[in-house]
Amino acid sequence: AQSVSQHNHHVILSEAASLELGCNYSYGGTVNLFWYVQYPGQHLQLLLKYFSGDPLVKGIKGFEAEFIKSKFSFNLRKPSVQWSDTAEYFCAVNAQGSARQLTFGSGTQLTVLP
C-alpha cells in the first residue's frame, strides 16, 4: 500500500525567506505526485503535479517541486515566500496500478510572518 510522510508539521518563516517542505512516499512502483494547498477556510487547490519526464516541476504562484526517485521524495520549494502563502500544504501520491486512490500526507502548516 502507498503512504506519504510530511515530517514538518508546522513551519514558520519570515517574508522573503526560502521554503522547502519535505514529502516522502513509500511505494515501490511508478507514482504520480501532487502538492495541494489549502488556504485558511478554503478548499484544496492543486499547486503542481508530477507524472513523468523532467523531475523538476513548476507550479502556480512560484512554487516548484523536485522528484528524487532514489530518495522517494517530492519536496516543495519556493525561493521567497510571501505572507499570502500562509496555508496548509498537502503532498499526495497516486500510484500507477493502485486502486485509484489518492493518498495524502498529514499536511504542513506554513505560517509566514510579515
Residues of this chain that bind other proteins (CB under 8 A): 32, 34, 36, 42-46, 49, 51, 88, 90, 94-104, 106-107, 109
**Quick one: 32 or 86, whose CB is closer to other proteins?**
32
Compute the least distance from the CB of residue 24 to other proteins, in Å.
Answer: 16
Compute the least distance from the CB of residue 13 to other proteins, in Å.
Answer: 19
**Quick one: 15 or 93, whose CB is closer to other proteins?**
93
**Quick one: 49 or 77, whose CB is closer to other proteins?**
49
Task: Determine the Cα–Cα distance for residues 95 and 64; give it in Å rounded to an integer.
Answer: 21
Among residues 26, 52, 21, the alpha carbon closest in space to that of 36 is found at 21
**Quick one: 14 or 96, whose CB is closer to other proteins?**
96
> What one-character-per-residue DSSP string does 47-102 give?
EEEE-SS-SEEE-GGG-EEEEEGGGTEEEEEESS--GGG-EEEEEEEEETTSSS--
CA dihedral sign of residues 106, 32, 36, 24: positive
Compute the least distance from the CB of residue 110 to other proteins, in Å.
Answer: 12
